[in-house]
Structure 1
């Protein structure tokens, strides 16, 4: 039995990085639900013409679900941008503006430009909208703008309440799931903004979204002080406000983009 447990733990370490590709299912739905509560009625009506009865929250997970189909393997690198340590905002901004590789920044821009086309086929509109909803959520997860050498925290091994995990997965899903709320309950719990806040967040351009996540990721890396560090109650206490703000900003900014496209 002891040998089996060791094999299982090793398998988890190998498996987890391959699965850690964005906010988890719950996180994406929270971002989508927050966005839905901030869009205009005209935007909601036009989105319904594309998604039908599928809500923004439910559409947000399509980009992860489709990983089960090898035909869509080309989407894997769309979910993140990995940046080396020690960059300031100007350096990040220059890099992103010169960016030509397939990553979250180039593909968010691509999807927005595609969705502006009037003659786009319905099936392509639907796929592009689902992807855009997902990717805007992704870039507000700090470890999606992490370091290339550890694959955005996937190789930073940790324990979460005595279970093997990694830094990326903690921020993808485990912190969120620890709150024990449904996505609608979570959206209600964090959806407190002023009109000025919403305007400010929605005016900020995508490079600022990425840089915010990049700065937070840097702090998260520095907060891990030893190999396979054990995280539990204190880590939740120290980071819950940051987590909630990233989810809220992701939803508010997604709403801003959707209003620009469909409002």
Structure 2
């Protein structure tokens, strides 16, 4: 049975800073929103799979890959949280930027393949579903598709609200913590799910390119090492972050709905 994660909107302002994409509260916010978009068939499919993994809800499942970071498995998964596109290029090249599919795009594609595989057993699909929920959310944080030269903003030091920080953390949590997001139920109600393409492998590549373009235009633009983050910068970034949270939730739901409907 799905359990609503309560207080996510408040948690966005209350949780301590995290180094993971969107922070735990942001991941859970996306997962909770996605659940509202699921068909009844898909909700049952998700609930049954997550019960096999002792996951409380789709919202909490999204944080699994960050929860295991300190373990051997978590360390092996490390490269799967991001992909880097060279500054002189404007499209991801899977051979160049994701060798052996060891990046967030390849990991998401691998998980989707298993979710749609009629020969995969239930436990294998459950594990793929849980991993997919994290990779799809990471993929929508623009600096997870940033540049290798500063490790997606981690090595670009900035000042945020008078305190030392880094550009990646600013986009992961610090701007998000200041945003007054609607509840997941309200967000989903105000933004109906529309039809979309079902070539999910190509869609994941398109969304990675989209995130990289947002990183270039909004995250990296006019920011140098040591700069303070201005109010104007935050005003430009906040709508991008809100849209990416919504995109991530809707796209997660579309793929899950499609996977659950497979014969």
Q: Give me the TM-score of the superposition, normalised by structure 1.
A: 0.81
Alpha-carbon contact 1:26-1:176 (below 8 Å) kept = no
Distance 1:226 1:151, change over 3 A: closer
Question: Aligned partners of 1:84 and 1:128: how far apart in 2?
Answer: 29
Q: How does 1:214-225 map to 2 (within 5 A)?
A: 214-225=212-223
Provide, for residues 136-181 of structure 1, a one-character-per-residue CA deviation record: whole Å limited to 9, x for no partner. 0000000010001111111011111111111111111111112265
Q: Is contact 1:32–1:57 with CA below 8 Å preserved after alignment?
A: yes
**C-alpha deviation, 1:54, in angstroms:** 1.9
| Residue aligned with 1:100, SS | helix
Matches within 5 A, 1:64-79: 64-79=66-81
Hey, what does 1:136 align to over in structure 2? 136
Q: What residue in structure 2 maps to residue 47 of structure 1?
A: 46
Matches within 5 A, 1:71-110: 71-89=73-91, 92=92, 95=95, 99-110=99-110
Report the counterpart of residue 173 of structure 2 in structure 1: 173
Within the candidate set 251, 254, 261, 1:253 is matched to 251
Q: Please report the TM-score for the alignment, with normalisation by the length of structure 2.
A: 0.81
Measure, in 1, the Cα distance between the counterparts of 2:38 and 2:242: 20
> Which residue number in structure 2 is paired with residue 238 of structure 1?
236
Aligned to 2:208: 210
Alpha-carbon distance in 2 for matches of 1:209, 1:247: 13
Q: Mark the runs of 5 or more structure 1 residues left unpaired by the alignment.
A: 1-15
Q: Given that residues 65 and 74 in structure 2 are in contact (C-alpha distance below 8 angstroms), is that contact kept between their aligned partners in structure 1? A: no
What's the CA shift string for 1:207-237, capped at 9, x where partnerless?
1100110101112354244431112533322
- Provide the aligned C-alpha RMSD in A: 2.6
* 1:120 shift after superposition: 3.8
Task: State the distance in 2 between where 1:202 and 1:166 align.
Answer: 37
Name the structure with the higher helix share.
Answer: 1
Q: Tell me how far 1:190 sits from its aligned partner.
A: 7.2
1: distance between equivalents of 2:135 and 2:103?
10
Rg (Cα) greater in structure: 1
Quote the residue 1:59 is aligned against.
Answer: 61
Q: Aligned pair in 2 of structure 1 residues 218, 129: CA closer, same or farther (>3 Å)?
A: same
Aligned pairs for 1:12-51 (under 5 A) are 20-51=19-50
In 2, distance between residues paired with 1:249 and 1:49? Answer: 25
Q: 1:107 to 1:71 in 2, by over 3 A?
A: closer
Deviation at 1:100, TM superposition (A): 2.4
Residue matched to 2:11: none
Contact 2:98–2:105 (8 Å) recurs in 1: no
Confirm or deny: 8 A CA contact 2:22 2:172 kept in the other structure. Answer: yes
Count residues in correspondence: 240
Q: Is 1:145 matched up with 2:145? A: yes
2:112 corresponds to = 112
CA distance in 2, matches of 1:216, 1:224: 13
Shift of 1:55: 1.5
Give runs of ≥4 in structure 1 deviating > 6 Å: 201-204
Structure 2 contact 83–105 (Cα < 8 Å) conserved: yes
CA apart distance, 1:254: 0.5
Mark the CA change 1:88 to 1:239 in structure 2 (over 3 Å): closer, same or farther.
Answer: same
2:30, 2:245 within 8 Å by CA — same for their partners in 1?
yes
Q: Distance in 2 between matches of 1:111 and 1:28?
A: 18
**Unaligned stretches of 5+ residues in structure 2:** 1-16
Partner-residue secondary structure (3-state), 2:68: helix
Report the counterpart of residue 199 of structure 1 in structure 2.
Answer: 195
